[in-house]
Amino acid sequence: GLRRIDADTPFKDLITSPPARGEERRIAPHPSLKPQQLMRQLVRASLPFGEGIVLDPFMGSGSTISAAVAVGVRSIGLEMNLEYYELATQAIPRLAALLVKV
Q: Of 93, 97, 61, 99, whose CA–CA distance to 79 is shortest?
A: 61
Judge residue 60's burial from the number of C-beta atoms within 10 Å of its C-beta, 0-12 exposed, 13-18 middle, 19 or more buried: buried
What is each CA distance from 33 to 9, 65, 100, in whole angstroms? 29, 12, 15
Report the pLDDT value the prediction gives residue 15, as an integer from 0 to 100. 81
For all residues of the chain together, what is the average pLDDT?
90
pLDDT of 50-95, one tens digit each?
688 999 999 999 999 999 999 999 999 999 999 999 999 999 999 9
Of 58 and 4, which is predicted with more confidence?
A: 58
Domains of the chain listed by start with CATH number: 4-97 (3.40.50.150)
